[in-house]
Amino acid sequence: MVIITGDVHADWGRLNALISKKHPEILIVCGDFGYWPSTDDFRRIKPDGTKILWCDGNHEEHWALRDLIDPEIMPGVFYMGRGSVYILPDNRRVLFMGGANSTDKESRKFGIDWFPEETINWADMENLPDHRIDIVISHTCPEEFYEKLVSRGDNDPSRVALSNILEKYKPALWFFGHFHMYKRGKFGDTWWTALNMAGNTGWWITLK
């Protein structure tokens, strides 16, 4: 079983409870995982045999992510950098592309709880693979999905980058978090799902 979740925001209690109840082989988190290694708080995660894969959101310690040598931050828990690919047991290829703009960055402190690396940039796009992609995991979403979620919003270059990914791969499935809501839709041949944040209805889904 593969489970995909929305933002966890370091709510390790709910994450551990989900793993303990469902026992997935793989659990994927769509950003805002809650990686702040200066607190070492993530050591409370209990994978219990589940492989946890996560991409970055806008609420992570991005300079620590930049300096990571080993993506396995603790046994069984893997940071999936932008442009990385994971092949599921059924041979579907999953592309990870984290990152998003923080709308509240004016109230946060540079290098403390806000980092300019939070948004997707064109250097990240240079890591994209040339082969087929079946599923995309991101934090925010392409502009094409965004229009179905909000009536007005910010200008996020990450969404433009993700629109390019949508055009390049036309994946069958796309999952993302960031907006703290559960909603599904379809654009072209791509079914997309916005997942809620941990503890709210629609914060996780079983991949089919």
pTM of the model: 0.96
Model confidence band, residue 104 (pLDDT cutoffs 50, 70, 90): confident
Model confidence band, residue 18 (pLDDT cutoffs 50, 70, 90): very high
Note the pLDDT of residue 39: 82
CATH number for the domain that contains residue 179? 3.60.21.10
Tell me which of 108 and 174 has the higher pLDDT. Answer: 174
Task: Output the average pLDDT for the chain.
Answer: 94
Q: Which residues contact 23 (CB under 8 A, 6 or more apart)?
A: 1, 48, 49, 50
Residues pairing with 175 in the sheet: 137, 193
Note the pLDDT of residue 151: 67
Of 101-105, 194-198, 203-207, the one with minimum mean pLDDT is 101-105
Residue 118 in tokens: 């939070």
175-179 average pLDDT score: 97
Query: Based on the number of CB atoms within 10 Å of its own CB, is 167 exposed (0-12), middle (13-18) or buried (19 or more)?
Result: exposed
What are the pLDDT digits (tens) for 137-175?
Answer: 999 999 999 988 986 777 899 999 999 999 999 999 999
Distance, CA of 34 to CA of 11 (rounded, Å): 8
Does 7 score more than 70 pLDDT? yes
Note the pLDDT of residue 106: 79
Share above pLDDT 70 across residues of the chain, in percent, rounded to a whole number: 99
Range of the domain at 196: 2-206
Does 8 score more than 70 pLDDT? yes
Q: How many domains are there within the chain?
A: 1
Model confidence band, residue 63 (pLDDT cutoffs 50, 70, 90): very high
